[in-house]
C-alpha cells in the first residue's frame, strides 16, 4: 500500500512519501525550508545552502538531485 500524505505544520503543507520497501519516510526539504524560514524562494535557498556547505567542506552534503513528489 502506497502512503503519501501532506502534513500540516503551522498551517503550511509539508509533502511526504512512505517507501514500503525501505520502510522509511521521505519528506520534502523545500517544504520544510518554507516552514522554518518563510523563504519566498525555498528552492534557491536550498541550492545556496548546499553551495555554502560544500564550500565549508561539510561532509553531510550528498550529490543528490531533487525528486518530484
pLDDT tens digits along 24-42: 888 888 999 999 998 899 9
pLDDT in tens, the chain (69 residues): 456 666 777 788 888 888 889 888 888 889 999 999 988 999 999 889 888 988 998 877 666 666 676
- The 3-state DSSP class for residue 2 equals coil
Q: Is residue 14 part of a domain?
A: yes
Cell of 10: 503551522
Residue 33 lies in a domain: yes
As for how many domains the chain has, the answer is 1
Whole domain around residue 26: which residue ranges?
3-55
- The count of other CB atoms within 10 Å of the CB of residue 25 is 12
Amino acid at each position: 500500500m502506497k502512503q503519501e500524505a501532506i502534513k500540516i505544520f503551522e498551517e503550511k503543507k509539508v509533502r511526504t512519501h512512505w517507501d514500503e520497501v525501505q520502510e522509511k519516510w521521505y519528506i520534502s526539504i523545500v517544504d520544510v525550508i518554507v516552514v522554518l524560514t518563510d523563504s519566498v524562494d525555498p528552492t534557491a535557498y536550498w541550492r545556496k545552502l548546499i553551495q555554502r556547505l560544500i564550500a565549508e567542506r561539510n561532509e553531510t552534503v550528498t550529490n543528490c538531485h531533487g525528486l518530484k513528489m
